[in-house]
Structure 1
Amino acid sequence: MNRFMAFMERKVMPVTQKVAAQRHLLAVRNGVLSTLPLTIVGSFFVIFLNLPIEGYNDWIAPFRDILDVPFRFTVGLMALYASFGVGASLAASYNLSQLNAGFLSVLAFLISTVVPIKIDQPVKGVIDAGRYISIGDLGAASLFGAIVTSLIAVEIYHFLIKRNISIKLPESVPPAVANSFTALIPTVVVALLFWGIRYGLGFDLNTIITTIISPLQSILVGNSLIGGLLTVFFIVFFWSFGIHGPAILDPLIRPMWDTAILANMDKFAFSGNAHQLPNLFTEQFLQWFVWIGGAGSTLALAILFMFSKAKFLKDLGRLSVIPGLFNINEPIIFGAPIVMNPILIIPFIITPIVTTIISYFATISGLVPLMMAKLPFTVLSPIAAVISTDWSIAAGLLVIINFIISLIIYSNFAD
């Protein structure tokens, strides 16, 4: 075990830290995370539109289309917002104008993804003749295309600015005006490039990227138990060695997580049935059923420490239990420590694997609905699980059962 830990510290940790700090991966993680307020607000509107109260649906029926608007312009346009966020984040690492980069990213995404629909004959009372775009092209299904086109657009911007291929105005010109002209040539290049690819070559970049990613996405965030267990294992495995697991996996899996929960939310908004949603292993599934107290389900360990005979562990338990209730567990991960601890690493990895399996079978059996909302991670797990599964009491009971299982497993390793 000591040799293995030494190997991890010497060989693996430096590599993972470099990966976590890579500018493009950071841009993807930060850009997608920047859309979090929108998805949370959109989630509340989904919940509000489907409250499990008798007669509620009939009562809001005349206003449903109006009440649905905030959801459509938050969750429904997620790829559009993410394209700006990813582009601005990558530009910041190059010390470029984040505003210009964000606009270029949105431009590249729209040209390569959205084909305007021409309607020659108006539909009376519904739509007039003209050209329109579908907001369906700007949602979760296009998230990966938005990420790739944004990265390419900003790299073009960086390439041209670095080589002074831009219009420079005198220093007396206001900075806002000068920056606009600086981005003029990059804008022309980005527009022509993506226009040529989409309409000249007929190459649908967004569809190609989505097709390539789909098999991996269906494994990791679809309904595959193996994929869910792999995600859980790698997160706690990296944490065991002091490496922020989600920081390593985020650039790859967060867009998949967000696509998955947004697809669930969109389907639920139409059907109102949380048992018939497309994706089981969303981030929220892990957050509420598995990460009880944080990665590794450490709330149980904090409570066990509160009754320890060792004063240090008792104090650590008291210090960690309140943050743990709100799913913040860095105090106990680094305080116990769990990091590099050959004894506590075992339950830290085993516990979430066991609760993932239990939660998976509880869901596919129909006892617990799937996740249809995205709440802040600091909400108490039983409450969040109930709300996120369309007010399912069974989901709250599952959290309590998983917590008891966590207590049993950790009690065999906590002194």
Structure 2
Amino acid sequence: MKNMEKFIDKFFGPIALYMNSSPFFRALTDAFMRMTSLTLGASVLMIIGFFPIPAWQNWLVTVGIYEDFVAVQNATINALGLFLAFTFAYSFVKINAPKYNPLVSGLLSLAGFMILIPQKYILYTINGAIEELPSQATIQATKELNAFSTDYIGASGILVAIIIGYLIARIYIYLNKKHFVVKLPESVPTNVAESLSPTFIAGAIMIIVFVIRLVFKYTPFLSNYGNIFAFITGVIQTPLQDIVGSPLSLILILSLANFFWYFGIHPQVVYSVITPIVIANSTANIVAYTSGETVPYLMFAVVGVACGTGFGGQGATLGLVISMMRAKSQRYKEMFKLTAVPSIFNINEPLIFGMPIIMNPIFFIPMAIGPLVMGLSAWGLTSLIDLSNYNPTIAFPWTTPALVTMIFRGGISLFLVGVVCLAISVLIWYPFFKVADQKALADEKKLAEEEKKEKTSSTLVTE
């Protein structure tokens, strides 16, 4: 363990030091942490609304409030890209150019982000039976709808939010330094002057964002995507189109999803590629089981649960939460209190953005290799046990812990496989967390000593 800690400190310490001193990464970390209270607040209602008891969820649907819990998710977790567009530009200016108003930068970034989002959707009416298409039935555009899709304002838009936030914050600082502002007499009230001063800057930034939107609309190659969001999604998805639905490919895909998520690219970009495969395989498993036949994609289904998001969310971060039970720093003791319950139900955005895990070099290895080690281990173990009673028809919400899913679908033997996977998750996360905890503890001691010196100096001056 000590050798592992030395290795991490030697090879990732300099990277962490660089990131901590980098204006970009300091602002990005601050921006993510500013959203922690939002994700924590939403997680309370999400646990209630998506509590993993089918009878409870059926009751919520019956009384008509299930969709209201979905609305909470859409307005918070599914709008993280929107919030990040503001907080990143705000934090960048506040940290790197505090003499300029960071609020204006945040608002301009938010507006720029939304300008780039497609805002028109066409509703169609099908005349005739669907099976008659395209010979007899016709499709007719009946209505044009103005709307912002949560597909773009949500976590899948995080990378665009980072790009736009950084670009606009940089331009905002540059134009302020060049005094590209409206100069008003000193007699003008301060609040009025602060509101009108950046008018020219706002106009310039809006023009730049507008040009970016047109580039993705009319440039021959880029117009195939239609917008910057679809372009990034398409570029990432294309290399993944030929991957088949085997257990090994699933393990690699989930590992790749974790890798992307570490850099702020939402896993949905990867999952969208394999969703048709997962649905087809799951349907085939159910049909075979109900017909009394052998389940054809048994390993695919089992490995998917074993190395998926059921152990605390993306990255199997339940192992990190369990590791925090031994935290020595006050920072991580408090983080454990805040994130333990949401993580049990696979809601780990408070961890992802609050630790933070995203863009944190200390946590790169456990985030990237977790599904790989857990998936291969589960694959090997399940090949040694009897899973003839595996029941693929039992479905649970995504908030259900993997251990619960495993014991209901495969009995005690599969449950034990899940316990082994959880133990592996802890072993993967613990040494890296220990390094982070020691650094946090050292910072806290240093801060305490500085405060003690300040108090001593103040006492001596007073005397």
Q: Please state which band the TM-score falls in when normalised by the shorter chain.
A: 0.5 to 0.7
SS of equivalent to 1:47 = helix
Matches within 5 A, 1:107-186: 107-117=111-121, 131-186=146-201
The one-character-per-residue Cα deviations of 1:279-337 (angstroms, maximum 9, x if unpaired) are 9378654421356314xxx95xx9xxxxxxxxxxxxx9xx99x9599499xxxxxxxxx
- Return the alpha-carbon distance in structure 1 between the equivalents of residues 397 and 319 of structure 2: 11
CA contact (8 A) 1:225 1:360 kept: no
**Aligned position for 2:69:** 67
> 1:15-94 residue pairs with structure 2 within 5 A?
16-53=16-53, 55-61=55-61, 62-92=64-94, 93-94=96-97
**Matched residues, percent identical?**
18
Q: Could you tell me how far 1:132 is from its partner in structure 2?
A: 2.7
Q: How many residue pairs were aligned?
A: 319
Give the aligned residue type for 1:205.
I
Query: For 1:290-305, what aligned pairs fall within 5 Å after superposition?
Result: 292-294=322-324, 299=326
From 206, 229, 232, the equivalent of 2:229 is 206
- In structure 2, runs of 5+ residues without a counterpart are 126-141, 244-248, 283-300, 339-363, 408-414, 432-463
Shift in Å at residue 43 of structure 1? 3.6
Q: Aligned AA for 2:205? A: V
Between the aligned partners of 2:366 and 2:104, the Cα distance in structure 1 is 47
> CA offsets, 1:35-66, max 9 Å, x none?
23333333443432333335323321122222
**Which residue matches 1:280?**
308
Change (3 A) 1:323 1:26: closer
Which SS does the other structure have where 2:179 is aligned?
coil
Deviation at 1:227, TM superposition (A): 8.2
Q: Deviations over 1:338-392 (max 9, x none)?
A: xxxxxxxxxxx9999998656334777799x99946xxxxxxxxxxxx7588787
For the residue of structure 1 that corresponds to 2:146, the secondary structure is: strand
- How far did residue 263 of structure 1 move? 9.4
Q: Do 1:120 and 1:129's aligned partners in 2 also have CA atoms closer than 8 Å?
A: no
Q: Is the 8 Å Cα contact of residues 257 and 270 (structure 2) preserved in structure 1?
A: no
Q: Secondary structure at the match of 1:114?
A: coil
Distance, in Å, in 1 between the alignment partners of 2:153 and 2:34 is: 16
TM-aligned CA distance change 1:400 to 1:109, over 3 Å: closer
* Counterpart contact for 2:77–2:154, Cα < 8 Å: yes
Matched, 1:193 2:193: no
1:289 match:
319
Q: Which piece of structure 1 moves more, 35-44 or 107-116?
A: 35-44
Write the mapping of 1:368-387 to structure 2, written as runs, cut at 5 A: 372=398
CA contact (8 A) 1:142 1:206 kept: yes
The residue type equivalent to 2:423 in the other structure is N
Rounded Cα–Cα distance in structure 1 between residues aligned with 2:78 and 2:419 = 31
Q: CA deviation at 1:105?
A: 0.6
When the two structures are superposed, what TM-score results if normalisation uses the length of structure 2?
Answer: 0.53
The answer to whether the 8 Å contact 2:93/2:101 transfers is: yes
Aligned residue identity for 1:112: L
Q: Which amino acid aligns with 1:280?
A: G
Query: In the alignment, what sits opposite 2:110?
Result: 106
Q: Tell me how far 1:27 sits from its aligned partner.
A: 1.9
* Paired residue type of 2:318: W
Shift of 1:102: 0.6
| Mapped contact 2:321–2:336 kept (Cα < 8 A) | no
Deviation at 1:140, TM superposition (A): 1.6
Structure 2 SS opposite 1:292: helix
State the secondary structure of the residue aligned to 2:182. coil
Q: Give the drift of 1:224.
A: 4.4
Offset at residue 98 of structure 1 (A)? 1.6
Q: 2:204 corresponds to which letter in structure 1?
A: V
Given residue 140 of structure 1, which amino acid in structure 2 is its aligned partner?
A
C-alpha distance in structure 1 between counterparts of 2:74 and 2:335, whole Å:
33
Q: If the length of structure 1 is used for normalisation, what is the TM-score?
A: 0.58
Q: Which is higher, the Rg of structure 1 or of structure 2?
A: 2
In structure 1, what residue type is equivalent to 2:97? Y
Distance change (3 Å), C-alpha of 1:80 and 1:174: same
Residue 260 (structure 1) aligned to one of 264, 267, 272: 267
One-letter amino acid of the counterpart of residue 28, structure 2: V
Instruction: Report the Cα offset of residue 226 of structure 1.
Output: 9.5
> Counterpart in 1 of 2:136?
none
1:147 is displaced (CA, Å) by 1.0
Post-superposition shift, 1:184? 1.1
Match of 1:398 in 2: 419
Deviation at 1:161, TM superposition (A): 0.3
> Whole-Å Cα distance in 1 between the matches of residues 402 and 44 of structure 2?
10
**1:139 deviation in Å?**
1.0
Structure 1 stretches lacking a partner, 5+ long:
122-126, 233-249, 303-315, 329-348, 374-385, 411-415
Partner of 1:243: none
Alignment-mate amino acid for residue 402 of structure 1: A
